[in-house]
Structure 1
Amino acid sequence: MQNTIEKGVKTYLNYINGEWSTSSTKEVLSSINPANKDEIVGYVQSSSREDLDTAVAAAKEAQKAWRKLSGAARGDFLYKAAAIMESRLEEIAESMTREMGKTFMESKGETARGVAILRYYAGEGMRKVGDVIPSQESDALLFTTRVPLGVVGVIAPWNFPVAIPIWKMAPALIYGNAVVLKPASEVAVTAAKIMECFDEAGIPAGVVNVVTGKGSVIGQGIIDHPDINGITFTGSNTVGKQVGKGALNRGAKYQLEMGGKNPVIISKDADLDLAVDGTISGGLRSTGQKCTATSRVFVQSAVYDEFKEKLLAKVKELKVGSGMEGETWMGPCASESQLNTVLYYIEKGKEEGATLLYGGERPSENGLDNGFYVQPTVFENVTIDMAIAKEEIFGPVLALIKVETIEEALELANDTEFGLSASIYTKDIQNILSFINEIEAGLVRVNAETAGVELQAPFGGMKQSSSHSREQGQAAIEFFTSIKTVFLKA
């Protein structure tokens, strides 16, 4: 919490009931540039439960009229917001890079994805929301329709500050819900810029609201609030379980997308250059800060040494630095806390007997010691019971594990509490079919990296990675609406 404001640094406000407002606490939080910890990107509100209550009340009232609009009319607002966001793409992307560290190229790609998601769901307003069912009575009409939940609380993480809030808010809105967004404080400046696009699009007051602040206050407030009918959450397993328990206790609908310990399997017949590129991109892009990031690399022994040699040669070429510098391939960790977590797991890997092949240190040249940087890191001689093979690190750490057969790789890949994404590199159709059938993951990719899913396709995990619902695509309607069955007889 902070009361002293650095001169020249902008303070961003909450967006409640169509107005920008300071929090009732009159206190702010600093958003720090992880590439340079001395730079404050902006100040955001450290809000109270009172501020959240005001936002929820506004959303509850606004939703009454919003749900009565046609899907096409609601979609028009999303189309307008998309056009505005597209016109401000580089500005929003720069904010993202300065707040959480990913490269400017990645930030532009993510912002463009946010634009595409808005347009996709705008189109959903013209698609069907029910089915006609044959009735046993010849003079009756039996059909289903869908109704919105009401007010949806969105608790979003810091690693995708544009894409994740939008892929939650856009379907919530198109299906007739009102939204209260609690962004991660680390990226709340970017969240404010998203809200500016909705505001400029003229969305009715109260339909979309953003309240920034501590998770223990605003996040917990969303979990507990009796007038929030559904909660969609992306984040850690620990917090996700708190969300689920709290929502269940008061009968609210909830959706959880949580951790991953995502494997890639490299078959002896794989295109090794393609596999190396996919492993590096999947594991180290965004500094490994993706729930779908590659973490465990199972390589058949026949090609293990060749794969390792190619992998290390390319990893050593990766340029670490500020995401705003064009030649940078990998930026810093998003925060000092996240950096410390990554460094802890690197030390844990060494202590438990894994062999550090490359990286594992904080770079200090060219002023990098003033940011939250860590080198891309590769371990080998990793066993499945080690912490770096079992626990989510959320950082640029790859664990190489040698296997003899694809069957062994599948068994070890499934030996985890998580089940989000997985991939295999092979040319053998039997390997492909076995992988598709046997891998315990919600997202399966063949000859492609573990990270990434197209926006029109369902996304979600198995086991402890998810509450078993799905986000994105037309599957989103299942969470953001309830089915109403209608029997009509004249």
Structure 2
Amino acid sequence: MKRAVSTIEGSRQNLYIGGRWVEPHSGVYVKSFDPTTGMPWYEFGNADAQDVSDAVDAARAAFENPQWRRITQTDRGKLVRRLAELVLENADVLAEIETRDNGKLLKEMRAQMRALPDSYTYFSGMADKLLGETVPVNKLDMLNFTMREPIGVVGMITPWNSPLMMLTGTLAPCLAIGNTVVIKPSEHTSASTLALAELIEEAGFPAGVVNVVTGGGKTTGDALVRHPGLSKIVFTGSTTTGRTIAANAAQNLIPCQMELGGKSPHVVFGDVDIDRTVNGVVAGVFAAAGQTCVAGSRCFVEASIYDRFVEALVERTGRIMVGHPMNDASDIGPLAIPEQIGKLKHYVASGVSQGARIAAGGKQPSREDLADGWYYEPTVMTEATNDMTFMRDELFGPVVGIVPFSSEEKMISLANDTRYGLASGIWTKDIDRAMRFANKVNAGTVWINTYRSAAFMSSMGGFKESGYGRRGGFDVMREFSRVKNVVLDYSGAMQDPFVIRLR
């Protein structure tokens, strides 16, 4: 891959449409900022409605192109597997690009990029295993069966927190099935998706199978979700934006797959190993600086161990190293966008005004070497209640509220008292209690004595305002294929069309 951090810095990055790198129709480019310095480090094209239309047209032409449509499922799987090999070969470069663009730890991004090829390989193996069914009917000499086929052009709008990881979960199955794609990465983190486009081209995918249009949500994103040439829309982001996208897609009767906001509960019972559980809670809310949709930012602790647990959590939080993401000694890096700093300050202040107490963090770090970046200290809020504003809204930052509870019944009520339903976690040695929680909690994923343990083989998705549709496992293959019913009469008999035969 030619593209690397050194070639991106100070450059203008163009759109990738129909297998060509093209300048935006408007000639407008937008700056992308380095979260560690707050300074621009490259520019990307701001695609307008004409660019988006060109990309959708290119994807539609590629979908009908025999070079893509008429190859065998096995050969299509080989292309996806070749992409997996290229991602692995370029994993360290992709990791550096991600870190520079969104501020996540380089050591975390290296591990993530080296794991992504497994997802492409997994779905490449499914390319020739998407089966139809033979369906019994109440007529003799009649064959009734279903077949699964690609749905067409899929528009994907990806988030800024984990651009390539979130893209892979839907791109890999889409390509394995035979769809074509138009990707609109976040305007805050476009570089890694553009780099991936180079690898897609190198892997040998026909021109137009994958297209990348960069730009703002109100320009590029809006034009994409309103385009009637799409067959499906995939969106990962806020619930508010998800509502807008779904409403626009409905005008063209285009289905959506949505992974939206979360306000996930950690539930800690008194029988746990406190130190082990504290580490799990820390990983669940402070990893990636809290910029994960499944962050366990509401922590309910049984009253019998509340004080000891808070003491241990505050002590462990105080040892978290906030630092430059390229430094392997850092535990968390900066936030990806500067707006998050003001948002966190607002919510922490509102929590204090409503009666919560800052037990750790609660501000930007004062170290001189971090002064220019978008850093925020991991924050523990005690004496919280579930009705406080910061406990109701998704913060997308390293802030957790701790609430005591006295009974299992009350805990279930608190855990479910949210408009979201993405994930949940319970910590206990009582397997019966854990299973009762799993049955009663209203969340798409339940973790028991672990948190954020995700796998591409598993089906994941949210309930309530956390969205709809499934990602991962075989379920996602169904999401990006459609069922066609075929009926064959092989009797060879002549039948009067106006004679009705009773059984």
Q: Same fold (TM over 0.5)?
A: yes
Instruction: Letter of the 2:365 partner, please give it.
Output: P
In structure 2, the residue matched to 1:241 is: 243
In structure 2, the residue matched to 1:3 is: none
For 2:235 and 2:54, locate their aligned partners in 1 and report how far apart those are by CA, in whole Å: 21
In structure 2, the residue matched to 1:146 is: 148
In structure 2, the residue corresponding to 1:413 is in which secondary structure? helix
In structure 1, the residue matched to 2:33 is: 32
Instruction: Letter of the 1:37 partner, please give it.
Output: G
TM-score, structure 1 length as denominator?
Answer: 0.96
**Does residue 48 of structure 1 match 2:30?**
no
- 1:70-105 deviations in Å (ceiling 9; x for gaps): 221111111111111111101100110111111112
For 2:8 and 2:119, locate their aligned partners in 1 and report how far apart those are by CA, in whole Å: 37
In structure 1, the residue matched to 2:254 is: 252
In structure 2, the residue matched to 1:123 is: 125
For 2:299 and 2:8, locate their aligned partners in 1 and report how far apart those are by CA, in whole Å: 48
Instruction: Letter of the 2:45 partner, please give it.
Output: Q
TM-score, structure 2 length as denominator?
Answer: 0.94
* Aligned with residue 385 of structure 2, among 383, 386, 393: 383
In structure 2, the residue matched to 1:18 is: 19
Instruction: Letter of the 1:49 partner, please give it.
Output: A
Q: CA deviation at 1:69?
A: 2.1
In structure 1, the residue matched to 2:297 is: 295
Q: CA deviation at 1:219?
A: 0.9
Q: CA deviation at 1:348?
A: 1.3
List runs of 5+ in structure 1 lacking aligned partners.
Answer: 1-5
Instruction: Letter of the 2:47 partner, please give it.
Output: S
| Contact 2:49-2:224 at 8 Å conserved across structures | no
* Aligned with residue 422 of structure 1, among 421, 424, 439: 424
What aligned pairs does 1:142-181 form with structure 2 within 5 A after superposition?
142-181=144-183
**Does residue 485 of structure 1 match 2:499?**
no
In structure 1, the residue matched to 2:460 is: 459
Instruction: Letter of the 2:460 partner, please give it.
Output: F
Instruction: Letter of the 2:448 partner, please give it.
Output: V
For 1:8 and 1:183, locate their aligned partners in 2 and report how far apart those are by CA, in whole Å: 18
Instruction: Letter of the 1:425 partner, please give it.
Output: W
In structure 2, the residue matched to 1:111 is: 113
For 1:7 and 1:138, locate their aligned partners in 2 and report how far apart those are by CA, in whole Å: 66
Relative to structure 1, is the Cα distance of residues 388 and 7 closer, same or farther in structure 2, using a 3 angstrom cutoff?
closer
What aligned pairs does 1:176-255 form with structure 2 within 5 A after superposition?
176-255=178-257
For 2:71 and 2:19, locate their aligned partners in 1 and report how far apart those are by CA, in whole Å: 18
For 1:215 and 1:386, locate their aligned partners in 2 and report how far apart those are by CA, in whole Å: 30
Higher mean alpha-carbon deviation, 322-331 vs 69-78, is at 69-78
**Does residue 261 of structure 1 match 2:290?**
no
| Contact 1:67-1:148 at 8 Å conserved across structures | no
| Contact 1:30-1:41 at 8 Å conserved across structures | yes
- Aligned residue pairs total 482
In structure 1, the residue matched to 2:138 is: 136
| Contact 1:148-1:482 at 8 Å conserved across structures | yes
In structure 1, the residue matched to 2:472 is: 472
In structure 2, the residue matched to 1:96 is: 98
| Contact 1:70-1:125 at 8 Å conserved across structures | no
- 1:158-207 deviations in Å (ceiling 9; x for gaps): 01111111111111111121100000011101111111110111110000
Higher mean alpha-carbon deviation, 431-440 vs 134-143, is at 134-143
For 1:172 and 1:144, locate their aligned partners in 2 and report how far apart those are by CA, in whole Å: 20
For 2:268 and 2:162, locate their aligned partners in 1 and report how far apart those are by CA, in whole Å: 28
| Contact 2:233-2:254 at 8 Å conserved across structures | yes
In structure 2, the residue corresponding to 1:408 is in which secondary structure? helix
Larger radius of gyration: 2
- 1:344-400 deviations in Å (ceiling 9; x for gaps): 111111111111101011112132110000100000111111011111000000100
What aligned pairs does 1:411-450 form with structure 2 within 5 A after superposition?
411-449=413-451
Instruction: Letter of the 1:124 partner, please give it.
Output: M
Q: CA deviation at 1:129?
A: 2.4
* RMSD over aligned Cα atoms: 1.4
In structure 2, the residue corresponding to 1:334 is in which secondary structure? coil
Instruction: Letter of the 2:13 partner, please give it.
Output: Y
| Contact 2:426-2:449 at 8 Å conserved across structures | yes
In structure 2, the residue matched to 1:62 is: 62
- 1:37-88 deviations in Å (ceiling 9; x for gaps): 13x3321111111111111111001001323322211111111111111111
* Aligned with residue 412 of structure 2, among 410, 413, 420: 410
| Contact 1:298-1:409 at 8 Å conserved across structures | yes
Higher mean alpha-carbon deviation, 339-348 vs 54-63, is at 339-348
Relative to structure 1, is the Cα distance of residues 73 and 7 closer, same or farther in structure 2, using a 3 angstrom cutoff?
closer
Instruction: Letter of the 1:60 partner, please give it.
Output: R
For 1:108 and 1:78, locate their aligned partners in 2 and report how far apart those are by CA, in whole Å: 21
| Contact 1:458-1:471 at 8 Å conserved across structures | yes
In structure 2, the residue matched to 1:308 is: 310
In structure 2, the residue corresponding to 1:268 is in which secondary structure? coil
In structure 1, the residue matched to 2:496 is: none
Q: CA deviation at 1:7?
A: 11
Q: CA deviation at 1:8?
A: 6.1
For 1:184 and 1:110, locate their aligned partners in 2 and report how far apart those are by CA, in whole Å: 19
For 2:21 and 2:82, locate their aligned partners in 1 and report how far apart those are by CA, in whole Å: 20
Q: CA deviation at 1:143?
A: 1.3
Identity %: 33
For 1:7 and 1:186, locate their aligned partners in 2 and report how far apart those are by CA, in whole Å: 14
Q: CA deviation at 1:115?
A: 1.4
- 1:295-318 deviations in Å (ceiling 9; x for gaps): 000000111111111111111001
| Contact 1:110-1:162 at 8 Å conserved across structures | no
For 1:340 and 1:131, locate their aligned partners in 2 and report how far apart those are by CA, in whole Å: 54
| Contact 1:278-1:448 at 8 Å conserved across structures | yes
Higher mean alpha-carbon deviation, 371-380 vs 23-32, is at 23-32
For 1:8 and 1:481, locate their aligned partners in 2 and report how far apart those are by CA, in whole Å: 39
Relative to structure 1, is the Cα distance of residues 26 and 94 closer, same or farther in structure 2, using a 3 angstrom cutoff?
same
For 2:411 and 2:35, locate their aligned partners in 1 and report how far apart those are by CA, in whole Å: 37
In structure 2, the residue corresponding to 1:232 is in which secondary structure? strand
Higher mean alpha-carbon deviation, 108-117 vs 370-379, is at 108-117
| Contact 2:19-2:206 at 8 Å conserved across structures | yes
Instruction: Letter of the 1:365 partner, please give it.
Output: R
Relative to structure 1, is the Cα distance of residues 8 and 321 closer, same or farther in structure 2, using a 3 angstrom cutoff?
closer
